[in-house]
A = this chain, B = another copy of it.
Amino acid sequence: MAKDKRPERPRAETPRGFRDYFGAEVSERKAMLDTIAAVYYRYGFDPLETSAVETVEALGKYLPDVDRPNAGVFAWADEDEGWLALRYDLTAPLARVAAQYRGDLPTPYRRYAMGPVWRNEKPGPGRFRQFYQCDADTVGAGSVAADAEICAMLADALEETGIPRGDYVVRVNNRKVLNGVMEVAGVLDPADPDRHARERGIVLRAIDKLDRLGEDGVRALLGKGRMDESGDYTEGAGLTAAQAGVVMGFMAAKRATGAETVARLRELAGASAIGNEGVQELESIAELLDAQGYGPDRIVIDPSVVRGLGYYTGPVFEAELTFEILDEKGRPRQFGSVAGGGRYDDLVKRFTGQAVPATGVSIGVDRLLAALRAKGRVQGDTRGPVVVTVMDRDRMADYQAMATELRRAGIRAEVYLGNPKNFGNQLKYADKRNSPVAVIQGGDEAARGVVLLKDLALGARIAAQASHEEWKSQPAQSEVPRAGLVDAVRRLLGSA
């Protein structure tokens, strides 16, 4: 019967789609967030931190490609507050804040925010349900100067995190131009904007997938629909070949220079009032950026950028890394998008009924960090603490005093707190921590008023290269007076 009494143990696992970050992974991300935040701050943006939890109604439903209930969010019924949910981005909470504090905030309100967001998506390899974003938005500025500023700031932020000029490009487009094209193609009627809304949604998502599906895949989605490799069928927008041709022409409208691209867009969408307005805005953005020195080596007009989210109303932007990395199978591939954003003039209006212009950008911090790691451009501090070993359990206070002295001198240090019986385990521990120096004092050393210092970094180099004679002479171990501990350790660290 003993078997029946054995308690059932919980599984020690994160839920699928979630993961843990250890040591340097945490500090490297923090350093990156700090760098980006400093750029945003320098541009006049103020920090804002909203809570992870919002009401479902405040968040709204704007996620693309939702294969889950609750429109892709993690949601639950609260006893007092109705349905609550984890935020899926940092933009929806900003819209709520802009509405809630509209009398108190400066106009325009520039804010930055950083933190995790959650998506209730089907977990898959490399697809996480919690990830970091680092956003900057300007609420209350209708001028495209605000959009241009966001694009310039995005370029600055990428460069300061370690992506050199030439390794990235910020692509800019305008939803209004796309709407103009839709009008020309006959799937947008300015007199009845709700008509064809479903078709336009499919067109939008299809264009957003150009990278992944290629031209034929997109054309299938614009027409009857598309069956993917797994046999799943995605319904198409039902456009005729002629209509689809107009849309495909828009996506291919990029020319050698911004001016030529603008001219081509004017040909395609200039017949529509909204399309013409969009082209005009793109032209202004390009002029403003040019005047500030952000030329096409950094920021380009590219009609293939549309962004999947449903709430954009004007300029949209996307930052793409242009270098190749090796994927998990060793094949070279473009790294792709690490940031995106755009103008969303109607999000605040949802709450207040009054139009409030807004524009902003979101940097996908985890992807950007992965890119920098892939290029070997992250210099994480992986050196562990100095480890004070324990030779004599009864003199723990002496060992603690050594660690305390080292710390007071600004040196990261700790006493070994495992079972001290096996000294080899203590050195193995120091190795595992990547400790640069081990401090050793047995009864003999204590009596003589000295400590032994083991230079573990040097020891590792010697072990890799040295002859047996060199090894035996133990150059990596030295004896110093107890009173000189801090200075001696500092010398070893300096030379490490």
Contact = CB atoms under 8 A, between A and B. Distances in A.
Interface of A: 9-16, 18-23, 25-27, 30, 41-44, 46-55, 57-58, 60, 68-69, 74-76, 78-81, 84, 86, 96-97, 99-101, 106-108, 110, 116, 118, 120, 122-123, 129-130, 138, 140-143, 145-146, 148-149, 152, 287-288, 291-293, 350-353, 384-385, 387, 396-398, 400-401, 404, 407, 410-415, 417-419, 429, 432-433
Contacts of A16: 80-81
Contact of A14 (B23, B51, B412): B51
5 contacts: A9-B351, A12-B96, A14-B50, A44-B412, A44-B414
Given A68-B79, A106-B433, A417-B138, A20 B55 contact: no
A122 B30 CA distance: 33
Contacts of A419: 142
A110 B46 CA distance: 35
Nearest to A112: B26
A53 B10 contact: no
Nearest to A393: B143
A116 B114 CA distance: 13
A76 B293 CA distance: 51
A275 B69 CA distance: 54
Nearest to A144: B396
Contact of A404 (B41, B51, B292, B417): B292
A396 B110 CA distance: 18
Given A287-B397, A417-B149, A15 B81 contact: yes
A49 B76 contact: no
B138 A20 contact: no
A292 B401 contact: yes
A97 B52 contact: no
Given A25-B49, A145-B400, 7 more contacts: A14-B96, A18-B54, A26-B49, A44-B413, A51-B130, A53-B74, A74-B76
Contacts of A385: 43-44
Contacts of A396: 143, 145, 288
Contacts of A351: 9-12
A400 B141 contact: no
A132 to B, nearest CB: 10
A14 B54 contact: yes
A27 B10 contact: no
A400 B20 contact: no
A397 B286 CA distance: 11
Given A47-B26, A100-B13, A397 B292 contact: yes
Contacts of A148: 400
A55 B107 contact: no
The 7 A-B pairs at the shortest CB distance, nearest first, are namely A44-B414, A291-B397, A12-B99, A76-B76, A26-B47, A44-B385, A141-B417
Contacts of A288: 396-397, 400
B26 A352 contact: no
A427 to B, nearest CB: 12
B74 A79 contact: no
A58 B138 contact: no
A46 B380 CA distance: 13
A224 to B, nearest CB: 30
A67 B23 CA distance: 37
Contact of A13 (B41, B53, B55): B55
Among A81, A142, A291, A417, max chain B CB count under 10 A is at A417
Contacts of A13: 55, 58, 96, 100
